[in-house]
Chains A and B, each alone.
Chain A
Amino acid sequence: MAKKVDLSFEEKLKKLEDIVESLENGELALEKAVDRYQKGVRLHAELQADLDRMEKRVRMLTEEGREVEFEGAADEDDDQ
């Protein structure tokens, strides 16, 4: 199985959905259910962290390969 750090946001979201659905089907033994729940809580925390870590960045590559802030987009309707 792939390591947790390698999972994309989408894969984690899919896993969490699967866990919730398997619990909602109600066919799991208690121990397994609790185990799934803990996995679910962990995935939720990771997804939350992924979203929190995101940060707006609009950059442009210069000819020398440097990255600079790109201001071109912020015109009349600059509402941030």
Chain B
Amino acid sequence: MDSPPPRRRALFGYEPPPSASDGGPLSVTELAQRARRFLEGEFASVAVKGEITDVSRSQRGHIYFTLKDANSQIPAVLWEGAARSLDFQLQNGLEVVARGNLTLYAPRGRFQFICQKITPAGEGLLEAKFRALTAEYEAKGWFDESLKKPLPFLPRVIGIVTSPTGAAIHDILETLLRRHPRASVLLAPAKVQGVGASEDIARAIRLLDGRDDVEVLIVGRGGGSLEDLWAFNEPAVVEAIRRARTPVISAVGHEVDVTLADRVADVRALTPTRAGEVVVPELEALIDGVRILRDRLDREVTGLLRNASLTLDALGRSWALREPRRMVQRASERVKELRAALTRSLEGTHRRLEERLRRLDRIPSGRLLLARLVRARQEVAGLRREMDGAMRRNLEGARADLERLGPLLESLSPLAVLQRGYSITRTKDDGRILRSSNEAAPGDEIVTLLADGEIVSRVEES
């Protein structure tokens, strides 16, 4: 009996070729198997160049996408193992060279390119756009060093534009507050990737830039693919940074990613952490610095005053000061004498009048006497007023005298004396004041103190 050969199941992908000589129709599976073997044999290792589109990632980590050019497309897959070692982001529009083999996925009758290795080829759409924008802003001079604004030394308020939930804000704040635990920060939250992100970032920049208290801005996000960072290349963001009056620190991603925002910013921080470092000085160093300046200030002035008081002591012993002091002393003695004499004379008049009144009192009384008495009393009162006035005038005169003498004393103060051309000479060694030519020998160094400074000289002869 000539029965058809038993159908053998494909084991481990192996199945002996069906014999066409059988002449019978092939099953669908048989045809698919033959096509698959053909494809796998013919295209066992091939490199293909095309644009990536329709990227999707399975739960297991395989990446499915379509390779296409102007007229054709081929479905492709990158198995999980190869996908893991990929060192760039597969994204729509990216031009790549893929190496691998063709196969046929029998359940769907679809042929598929299995990628073993994939590398970017030339530039994709985003790269081209990036290059065009870079050229445009370079031509406008927007990246020029001359436009860079200096950062404030100690900003009152630090404005930050980033996502409130991203890694960047955490990194920035951690570093910033460690360096300056009393800093003031204002976060303007913005969407940092996806549709509308660039407008959102630009709006947040303008918002913070419009505030008087915000003295520096940090604009950024954590690292990512070119596509993730794309908002920071968009004209809306680049222009908002360029037009800001407030200095801007960019802090986008990691060191390798340079965005146009980085290039237009006044300062580029390589990472958000680095932005937290450059934006504030260390508070502790600041406190120390201020204290040290105060110490130096005090030390200098203490030294100066000690020198000055030595000079004053020396001057105090000289005639220039003894003389005016004596003048004042004499003046005040004279004032005292005058006052005593005046008092004596007025008191004498008063006493004589009182005496006359008492005598009148002893004479037998009458209306006439009484009238006289009243008149006499008035006379006494008038005299007393006069006396008081004279006394006051005299004291005022004395005070004016003293006031005149005050400035005189001052004009004879040591500094004023020096101003008039006198000088004091001391030995350089021990600061002794020279009063006699015998006190210095040829070759000695001497210091001459003048009103505005010192001259150091050497004695030729004495």
Contact = CB atoms under 8 A, between A and B. Distances in A.
Contacts of B181: 56, 80
A75 B424 CA distance: 70
A33 to B, nearest CB: 5
Contact of B186 (A8, A9, A40, A61): A61
Interface in A30-74: 30-31, 33-34, 37, 40-41, 44, 47-48, 51, 54-61, 67, 70, 72-73
The 8 A-B pairs with the shortest beta carbon distances in the complex, nearest first, are A10-B153, A73-B173, A23-B300, A54-B182, A60-B187, A37-B301, A57-B184, A9-B154
Contacts of B186: 59-61, 67
A59 B211 CA distance: 14
B293 interface: yes
A1 interface: no
Contacts of A26: 300, 304
Nearest to A62: B189
Interface stretch (B17-25, B216-224, B283-291): B283-291
Contact of A29 (B208, B289, B296, B453): B453
Contacts, number: 112
Nearest to A32: B452
A25 B181 CA distance: 36
Interface stretch (B78-86, B163-171, B243-251): B163-171
B169 A44 contact: no
Given A16-B290, A60-B186, A72-B164, 7 more contacts: A27-B453, A30-B304, A30-B308, A34-B304, A58-B184, A59-B187, A73-B170
A6 interface: no
Range of interface residues on chain A? 35 or more
Interface of B: 152-154, 164-165, 169-170, 173-174, 177, 181-189, 207-208, 283, 286-287, 289-290, 293-294, 296-297, 300-301, 304-305, 308, 415, 451-453
Nearest to B297: A40
Interface of A: 8-10, 13, 16-17, 19-20, 23-24, 26-27, 29-31, 33-34, 37, 40-41, 44, 47-48, 51, 54-61, 67, 70, 72-73, 75, 77, 80
Given A20-B293, A29-B451, A44-B290, A70 B415 contact: no
Nearest to B295: A20
A9 B155 CA distance: 9
Contacts of A13: 153, 289-290, 293
A30 B452 CA distance: 8
B191 to A, nearest CB: 12
A77 B174 contact: yes
7 contacts: A16-B293, A33-B301, A44-B297, A48-B290, A51-B283, A57-B185, A60-B189
Given A56-B181, A73-B169, A73-B173, A34 B290 contact: no
A60 to B, nearest CB: 4
A80 to B, nearest CB: 7
A8 B215 CA distance: 11
B188 A9 contact: no
B328 to A, nearest CB: 24
A59 B185 contact: yes
Contacts of A44: 290, 293-294, 297
Given A41-B297, A48-B290, A73 B174 contact: yes
B183 A61 contact: no
Contacts of B183: 54, 56
Contacts of A59: 185-187
Nearest to A21: B296
A14 to B, nearest CB: 9
B164 A20 contact: no
Contacts of A75: 170
B57 to A, nearest CB: 29
Contacts of A58: 173, 177, 184-185, 187
A79 to B, nearest CB: 9
Contacts of A48: 290
Contacts of B164: 60, 70, 72
Most buried by A among B154, B293, B308: B293
A59 to B, nearest CB: 5
Contacts of B301: 23, 33-34, 37
A48 B169 CA distance: 30
Nearest to A54: B182
Contacts of A77: 174
Nearest to B184: A57
B297 A20 contact: yes
